[in-house]
């Protein structure tokens, strides 16, 4: 009846953006009055923090602060298509589109300022809310630069799209180029198994994921932590049951989800193997974060108590039964020898 | 959804009985309401229309709390959280505090009442095993022929089966009285599919007092989740009472529960867990009852 | 019986208003007082999105009859702070990155506030327990716990208040900086309006009649009783679809409302719009549908057999999609193998359980544009499909995304937006449809349950010679994303390993179960669970460390994938090394050596949960200080 600990690991890979089809996303950018910026794109914030990520990208490209960037609402009548929220695609597809659109808008502004100052455009930089020309004393706030543009009849805007070079799969042997960016990862899980009840507690997960380039590391951690806990729910407790077509888990009293008591500490390690194709080098994290968790936990349970769970979820009953099965088998072996 | 035409909150027992008479057969009593509202939803009872909901939680008799060195009397509408937050109550009923921390969650415990848990008579009701361990009695009241009369019975007689109690249609569960067990070591063991907001597959209440020689002077064990009603484990108790607390004896006492599990689903699992809970629950309770507890060390050593 | 009159103090203001006797405190706050900061996530006390203080005690307002608020003091999320004037705890949530979709966050903020009110010095384990009634589906709780601990430490002076402030990147570069989420203040304060929080003037409420049968022909539908009810403004069914009916992510096989037959329990049949939700709900009781039950099939393997009931006429074999991948020659690969291991793995159906049940509004704007506001994960595609369904030019259909309270793939399907459009057109008024949790569970897609048989052959040194992989997945009643899930499962299922001989087949199959659809990790999760479990089984038999067996086979820079794509840089070897190092992994074969390994219990683990952290804290506090 002891509580036994064990560890397991698993690796993973994943493709970024839509699978085996051409993906695309567009964005419009405007450097706005006061040195702020406006971005319109069909982005769908589903909680991952993509709006903040896009604001960071636009800010970095334009030399202003993220809080000075306004991202317009997603509206098919008001924003260019950026397709859906899924497939670990938004940072990659829309992030790159926003960067390209912002660069265009910035180029328009820089051209006006460079001509005002009589310097080459490639000497003009934008940073910290200012426009300045290297090797000169020329410098002005971004807001003044926008006013200057407008006084010259220019609204600094940009529009860009980002698409992938991908193909479908051959219907016979499956060959094809489903993605242009891949990510890889690996997780280690440590568990404690109560051999009295069969309960499994996942105490720690060490998660390493290549994300290309982390725009917001805390946001990446949030995706990893959340993904691991979703996977842990599937690993240990969640089970949508259906009998003769009718669910027996019709509400959240029967469909059991992990609470704050049931979750491990997660240590995230972010790897950056930059994407060579997109302008930013970013890839993604949303989905791959949860891929290695379940096998890592099952391998850890095996390490702890020798019970191999191949049918999810590893409920206390199933784990205890597997422990007893193993004990029976080893007694049987001992008797035979 | 639960629909009603009237929601009544009587402030006295007499008013409650008046309302019950007026809506005879057309009302439902509620206290915390934490079970009633989820019951009237899709997948369970579905939409339910009841002419009157009568909320008994404001009746003074149901909110009583008396604790002295030997006895405890608590109104049926005492929220479960009270067993955790009220120091006197927690000392007098150490196993109820241990149980309460497993009961739903902090917020539901703030509303859910001990009486509600008893009258629902779930086979897995968390509060029933600890109260059985306390030899609890329930006090019921009714108004017949214009007079309020009360009766008492042992909790073990009150809970009759899944969803069934001895409560008559015109009765209210008023209060629970039981022995105070200060200084007892206590443990509440529970297993479900997670650790908060979960229905027990098996739960066990254990309380123990040691004598000066560290023999077991008194112990009470009760279990839920393994049959139609929670019950005491008298055979195991009698075997252990008065004897030394050794691991071998705990194991033997646990073995006496083997035939006890009546649940058809997950039968073997429940049998194994009950066996283990008796040993481990008692070992923890023994440690809390008197410092050095031989079985705990032995238990750890035997499974290291 | 007359309505109740509730006299109470809500967020410091006295109120006195009528209420229905059956109303819950949650309805009263949200519908009558417009305090929509606290949400309804489940209606059954299981999720905590509705947590409010009642006389200073935190309760789940979906479980509180409104009469219990009589003469009470109620505090909602709106009382704690607002953008620009957030409470310390709200600022800590902002700083820590504790909010993602935000739907659980008002309840979490309330629970965190309650935890620290109860014990301002609560440790992490006690905080966990005190938050145990609140579900979050996005964050994994870690940053929420961090935020509560940060609040505690600022509160007791261990940390300065500046710990709550934004960290400006020193170099002015924002890519790579931990910029605080821009949308967090609106989420931690409850100010953000999700679709169920929105109202429009003249708005009607929608309810939907759903099939109780898994498979049945619809003989007749009689809606006259519902149409005649006072307060009912419109009733729609399949006949009201003007264009080409059908939606789906890959194939448009699901009608807006059941057409001729129902294919699962929960299939939508008739929708009603009425002046209030209760009337719409009651109107459903006055719709009569006559069914002719058909033989149903619930197991995908049975559905694939000849003679099984056919669910969609254009898929007589019930196969939604089969994806094959072929590399080399598996027979010769197995012939060369020293070890062959075959094992079956199965995974269950999983509910997305985003805290925000589906909700949306529909209206026809003054220019005649049919407009849908909903938390859709794919408004672009929804607009295409709805324009075809409504037979309208595409710019006469407009989708506006409302804040998404969690999606995970489950809000890619256009499950209810067509219903909103039909009723908005029919009634000429704005309509709103808010799912209950139970409706969300019964009607919307799940993660595909799967059954995989995996046969792997390896050499003695752990090199994979051949893999035969066959997965059968239950796609349920409609196609939704099944095709894509099968494709991703096949491409990624054998893992990031060099496999010279591979026979991979994934099958998505129609049944009469709840449909399966898109769910975060989309087929890769089910298949890589099998492969990564299998590698450990093989490693034990070969006496190899789990990392070592993966390194033997790992794709490296320039690797060719199973679909014969040549990769550039491959980060797998770096990921393996980094994980080994971060976890301080002790090498050895996976032979149940937990009892003897030395890398357990170190940094990076939480303490095991033994309920009662508050007892430990109390016992600790009760002990007299030791005198040296």
Domains and CATH numbers, chain A: 3-15+181-336 (3.30.365.10), 24-161 (3.30.365.10)
Contact between C604 and A204 using a beta-carbon 8 Å cutoff: yes
Of A247, A261, A320, the CB nearest to B269: A320
In order of A11, C111, C257, C409, C559, the CA distances from A284 in angstroms are: 16, 32, 37, 16, 20
Q: Reduce the DSSP state of residue C142 to 3 states and report it.
A: helix
> In the prediction, which pLDDT does C563 show?
98
> In the prediction, which pLDDT does C218 show?
98
Which residues in chain B are closer than 8 Å to A196, comparing Cβ atoms?
A: 273, 276-277, 280
* Residues whose CB is less than 8 angstroms from the CB of residue B275 and which lie 6 or more positions away in sequence, other chains included: B254, B255, B257, B258
The residue ranking higher by pLDDT, B45 or B298, is B45
Instruction: Confirm or reject contact between C287 and chain B (CB < 8 A).
Output: no
Task: Pick the residue of C262, C520, C534 with the most A CBs within 10 A to test the interface with A by mutation.
Answer: C520
- Complex-level ipTM beyond the 0.95 threshold: yes
C53 neighbors C114 (Cβ within 8 angstroms): yes
Looking at the complex, report in whole angstroms how far the Cα of residue C566 sits from the nearest Cα belonging to chain B.
45
> Among all residues of chain C, which has the CA nearest to that of B39?
C44
> In the prediction, which pLDDT does A113 show?
98
> In the prediction, which pLDDT does C72 show?
98
> In the prediction, which pLDDT does C615 show?
86
pLDDT average, residue stretch B96-115: 97
Q: What are phi and psi of C351, to 5 degrees?
A: -90, 140
> In the prediction, which pLDDT does B301 show?
57
Domains and CATH numbers, chain C: 4-79 (3.10.20.30), 88-166+183-190 (1.10.150.120), 204-293+356-438 (3.90.1170.50), 310-350+447-619 (3.30.365.10)
Q: In the complex, which subunits touch C with 3 or more CB pairs below 8 angstroms?
A: A, B
Q: What are phi and psi of C389, to 5 degrees?
A: -65, -40
Looking at the complex, report in whole angstroms how far the Cα of residue C132 sits from the nearest Cα belonging to chain B.
6
Structure tokens at A259: 């609470």
> In the prediction, which pLDDT does A334 show?
87
> In the prediction, which pLDDT does C353 show?
98
Task: Pick the residue of B108, B120, B193 with the most A CBs within 10 A to test the interface with A by mutation.
Answer: B193
> In the prediction, which pLDDT does B304 show?
40
Q: Report H helices in C560-612.
A: 572-582
C562 neighbors C499 (Cβ within 8 angstroms): yes
Contact between C58 and B107 using a beta-carbon 8 Å cutoff: yes
> In the prediction, which pLDDT does C626 show?
41
Contact between C438 and B41 using a beta-carbon 8 Å cutoff: yes
Q: What is the pLDDT of residues A147-167, one digit of tens each?
A: 999 999 999 999 999 999 999
Which residues in chain C are closer than 8 Å to A2, comparing Cβ atoms?
A: none
Contact between A247 and C572 using a beta-carbon 8 Å cutoff: no
Angle of helix C572-582 versus helix C546-553 axis, rounded to 10: 170
Looking at the complex, report in whole angstroms how far the Cα of residue A101 sits from the nearest Cα belonging to chain C.
16
> In the prediction, which pLDDT does B16 show?
98
**pLDDT at residue A289 greater than cutoff 60:** yes
- Band (pLDDT 50/70/90 cuts) for residue B220 is very high
Q: Which of A243, A287, A327, A337 is catalytic?
A: A287
* Residues forming a β-bridge with A71: A39
Spatial distance between the Cα atoms of B57 and B32, rounded to a whole number of angstroms: 7
> In the prediction, which pLDDT does C616 show?
79
Contact between C97 and A222 using a beta-carbon 8 Å cutoff: yes
Instruction: Confirm or reject contact between C600 and chain B (CB < 8 A).
Output: no
**pLDDT at residue B58 greater than cutoff 70:** yes
> In the prediction, which pLDDT does C628 show?
37
Which residues in chain B are closer than 8 Å to A315, comparing Cβ atoms?
A: 193
Active-site residue A238, yes or no?
A: no
> In the prediction, which pLDDT does B290 show?
85
Looking at the complex, report in whole angstroms how far the Cα of residue A317 sits from the nearest Cα belonging to chain B.
6
Contact between A74 and C568 using a beta-carbon 8 Å cutoff: no
Spatial distance between the Cα atoms of A91 and C114, rounded to a whole number of angstroms: 36
Which residues in chain C are closer than 8 Å to B101, comparing Cβ atoms?
A: 129, 611-612, 614-615
Contact between A259 and B194 using a beta-carbon 8 Å cutoff: yes
Instruction: Confirm or reject contact between C369 and chain B (CB < 8 A).
Output: no
C600 neighbors A7 (Cβ within 8 angstroms): yes
Contact between C59 and B104 using a beta-carbon 8 Å cutoff: no
What is A30-84 written as a DSSP string?
Answer: EEEGGGEEEEEE----SSS-HHHHHHHHHHHHHTS-GGGEEEPPPBTTTS-----
Block residue for tokens 């012939």 = C335
In order of A16, B53, B171, C275, the CA distances from B16 in angstroms are: 65, 11, 10, 36
> In the prediction, which pLDDT does C171 show?
85
CA torsion angle A291 A297 A302 A303 (round to 10): 110
Which residues in chain A are closer than 8 Å to C518, comparing Cβ atoms?
A: 86
Instruction: Confirm or reject contact between B195 and chain C (CB < 8 A).
Output: yes
> In the prediction, which pLDDT does C617 show?
73
Report pTM.
Answer: 0.98
**pLDDT at residue B3 greater than cutoff 90:** yes
Contact between B101 and C130 using a beta-carbon 8 Å cutoff: no
Which residues in chain C are closer than 8 Å to B111, comparing Cβ atoms?
A: 59-60, 63-64
Contact between B43 and A320 using a beta-carbon 8 Å cutoff: no
Contact between C597 and A210 using a beta-carbon 8 Å cutoff: no
> Among all residues of chain C, which has the CA nearest to that of A285?
C521
**pLDDT at residue B302 greater than cutoff 60:** no
Q: What is the mean pLDDT of each run of 10 residues along chain C (628 residues)?
A: 87 97 98 98 98 98 98 98 94 98 98 97 97 98 98 98 92 94 97 98 98 98 98 98 97 98 98 98 98 98 98 98 98 98 98 98 98 97 98 98 98 98 98 98 98 98 98 98 98 98 98 98 98 98 98 98 98 98 98 95 95 81 49
Instruction: Confirm or reject contact between A270 and chain C (CB < 8 A).
Output: no
pLDDT average, residue stretch B238-254: 94
> In the prediction, which pLDDT does A337 show?
74
> Among all residues of chain A, which has the CA nearest to that of B267?
A317
> In the prediction, which pLDDT does B292 show?
61
Q: What are phi and psi of B266, to 5 degrees?
A: 50, 40
Q: In the complex, which subunits touch A with 3 or more CB pairs below 8 angstroms?
A: B, C
């Amino acid at each position: 009846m002891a509580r036994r600990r064990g560890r397991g690991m698993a690796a993973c890979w994943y493709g970024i953006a839509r699978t085996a089809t051409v993906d695309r996303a567009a964005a419009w950018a405007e450097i706005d009055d006061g040195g702020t910026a406006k971005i319109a794109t069909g982005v769908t914030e589903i909680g991952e923090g993509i709006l903040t990520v896009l604001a960071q990208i636009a800010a970095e490209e334009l030399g202003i602060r993220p809080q000075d960037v306004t991202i317009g609402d997603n509206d098919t009548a008001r924003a260019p298509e950026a397709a859906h929220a899924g497939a670990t695609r938004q940072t990659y597809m829309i992030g790159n589109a926003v960067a390209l659109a912002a660069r265009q808008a910035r180029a328009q502004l820089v051209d006006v300022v460079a001509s005002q100052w009589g310097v080459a455009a490639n000497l003009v930089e934008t940073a910290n809310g200012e426009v300045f020309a290297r090797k000169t004393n020329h410098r002005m706030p971004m807001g003044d630069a926008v006013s200057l543009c407008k006084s010259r009849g220019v609204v600094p805007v940009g529009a860009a799209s980002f698409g992938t070079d991908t193909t479908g799969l051959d219907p016979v042997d499956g060959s094809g180029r489903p993605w242009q960016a891949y990510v890889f990862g690996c997780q280690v899980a440590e568990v404690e198994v109560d051999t009295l009840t069969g309960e499994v507690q996942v105490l720690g997960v060490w998660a390493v994921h290549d994300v290309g380039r982390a725009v917001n590391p805390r946001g990446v951690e949030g995706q990893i932590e959340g993904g691991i806990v979703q996977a842990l729910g599937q690993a240990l407790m969640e089970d949508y049951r259906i009998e003769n077509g009718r669910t027996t888990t019709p509400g959240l009293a029967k469909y059991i989800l992990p609470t704050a008591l049931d979750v491990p500490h997660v240590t995230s390690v972010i790897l950056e193997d930059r994407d060579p194709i997109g302008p930013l080098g970013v890839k993604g994290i949303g989905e791959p974060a949860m891929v290695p968790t379940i096998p890592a936990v099952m391998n850890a349970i095996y390490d702890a108590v020798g019970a191999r769970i191949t049918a999810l979820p590893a409920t206390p009953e199933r784990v205890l039964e597997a422990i007893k099965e193993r004990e029976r088998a080893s007694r049987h072996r001992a008797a035979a020898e | 959804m639960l629909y009603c035409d009237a929601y009544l909150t009587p402030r006295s027992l007499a008013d409650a009985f008046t309302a019950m008479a007026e809506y005879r057969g057309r009302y439902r009593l509620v206290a915390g309401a934490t079970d009633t509202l989820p019951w009237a939803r899709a997948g369970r009872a579905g939409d339910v229309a009841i002419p009157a909901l009568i909320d008994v939680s404001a009746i003074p008799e149901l909110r009583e709390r008396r604790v002295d060195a030997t006895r405890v009397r608590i109104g049926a509408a005492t929220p479960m959280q009270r067993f955790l937050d009220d120091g006197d109550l927690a000392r007098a009923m150490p196993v109820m505090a241990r149980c309460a921390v497993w009961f739903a969650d902090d917020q539901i415990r703030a509303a859910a009442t001990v009486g509600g848990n008893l009258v629902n008579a779930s086979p897995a009701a968390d509060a029933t095993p600890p109260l059985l361990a306390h030899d609890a009695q329930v006090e019921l009241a009714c108004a017949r022929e214009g007079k309020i009369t009360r009766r008492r019975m042992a909790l073990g007689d009150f809970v009759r089966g899944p969803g069934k109690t001895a409560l008559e249609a015109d009765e209210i569960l008023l209060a629970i009285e039981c022995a105070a067990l200060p200084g007892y070591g206590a443990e509440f063991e529970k297993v479900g599919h997670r650790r908060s907001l979960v229905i027990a597959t098996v739960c066990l209440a254990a309380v123990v007092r040691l004598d000066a020689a560290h023999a077991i002077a008194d112990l009470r064990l009760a279990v839920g989740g393994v049959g139609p009603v929670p019950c005491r484990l008298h055979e195991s108790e009698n075997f252990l009472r008065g004897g030394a607390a050794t691991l071998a004896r705990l194991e033997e006492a646990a073995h006496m529960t083997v035939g006890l599990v009546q649940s058809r689903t997950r039968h073997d699992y429940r049998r194994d867990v009950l066996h283990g809970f008796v040993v481990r629950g008692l070992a923890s309770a023994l440690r809390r009852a008197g410092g050095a507890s031989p079985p705990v060390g032995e238990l750890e050593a035997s499974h290291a | 019986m007359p309505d109740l009159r509730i006299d109470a103090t809500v967020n410091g203001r006295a109120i006195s208003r009528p209420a229905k006797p059956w109303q819950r405190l949650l309805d009263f706050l949200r519908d009558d007082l417009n305090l929509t900061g606290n949400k309804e996530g489940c209606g059954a006390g299981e999720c905590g999105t509705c947590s409010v203080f009642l006389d200073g005690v935190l309760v789940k307002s979906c479980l509180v009859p409104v009469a219990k608020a009589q003469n009470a003091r109620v505090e909602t999320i709106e009382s704690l702070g607002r953008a620009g004037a957030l409470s310390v705890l709200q600022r800590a949530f902002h700083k820590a990155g504790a909010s993602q979709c935000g739907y659980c966050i008002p309840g979490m903020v309330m629970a965190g506030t309650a935890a620290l009110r109860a014990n301002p010095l609560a440790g992490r384990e006690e905080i966990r327990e005190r938050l145990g009634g609140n579900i979050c589906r996005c964050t994994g709780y870690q940053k929420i716990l961090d935020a509560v601990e940060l609040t505690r430490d600022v509160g007791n002076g261990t940390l300065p208040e500046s710990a709550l402030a934004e960290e400006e990147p020193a170099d002015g570069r924002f890519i790579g900086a931990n910029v605080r989420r821009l949308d967090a203040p609106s989420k931690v304060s409850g100010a953000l309006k999700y679709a169920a929080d929105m109202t429009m003037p003249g708005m009607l409420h929608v309810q939907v009649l759903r099939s109780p049968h898994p498979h049945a022909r619809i003989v007749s539908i009689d809606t006259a009783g519902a149409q005649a009810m006072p307060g009912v403004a419109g009733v729609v069914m399949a006949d009201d679809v003007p264009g080409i009916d059908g939606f789906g992510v890959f194939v448009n096989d699901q009608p807006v409302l059941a057409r001729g037959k129902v294919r699962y329990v929960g299939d939508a049949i008739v929708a009603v719009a009425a002046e209030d939700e209760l009337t719409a709900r009651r109107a459903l009781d006055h719709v009569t549908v006559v069914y002719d039950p058909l033989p149903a099939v619930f197991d995908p393997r049975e559905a694939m057999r000849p003679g099984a009931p056919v669910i969609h006429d254009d898929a007589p074999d019930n196969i939604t999609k089969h994806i094959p991948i072929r590399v080399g020659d598996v027979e010769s690969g197995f012939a060369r193998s020293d070890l062959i291991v075959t094992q079956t793995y199965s995974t269950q159906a999983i509910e997305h359980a985003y805290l925000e049940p589906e909700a949306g509004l529909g209206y026809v704007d003054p220019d005649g544009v049919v407009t849908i506001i909903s938390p859709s994960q794919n408004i672009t595609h929804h607009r295409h499909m709805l324009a075809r369904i409504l037979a309208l030019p595409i710019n006469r259909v407009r989708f506006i995304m409302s804040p998404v309270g969690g999606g995970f793939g489950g809000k890619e399907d256009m499950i209810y937006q067509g219903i909103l459009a039909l009723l908005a057109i029919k009634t000429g008024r704005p309509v709103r449809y808010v799912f209950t949790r139970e409706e969300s569970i019964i009607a919307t897609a799940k993660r595909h349950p799967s059954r995989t048989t995996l046969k792997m052959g390896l050499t003695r040194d752990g090199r994979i010679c051949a893999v035969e992989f066959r997965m059968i997945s239950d796609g349920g009643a409609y196609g939704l994303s099944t095709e894509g899930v099968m494709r991703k499962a096949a491409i990624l299922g054998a893992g990031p390993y060099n496999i010279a001989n591979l026979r991979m087949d994934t099958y998505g199959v129609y049944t009469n179960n709840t449909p399966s659809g898109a769910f975060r990790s989309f087929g890769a999760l089910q298949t890589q669970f099998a492969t990564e479990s299998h590698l450990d089984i093989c490693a034990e038999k070969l006496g190899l460390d789990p990392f070592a067996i993966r390194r033997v086979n790992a794709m490296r820079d320039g690797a060719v994938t199973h679909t014969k794509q040549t990769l550039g840089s491959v980060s797998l070897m770096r990921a393996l090394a980094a994980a080994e190092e971060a976890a301080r992994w002790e090498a050895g074969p996976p032979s149940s050596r937990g009892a003897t390994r030395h890398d357990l219990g170190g940094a990076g683990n939480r303490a095991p949960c033994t309920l009662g952290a508050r007892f430990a804290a109390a016992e600790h506090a009760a002990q007299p200080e030791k005198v040296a």
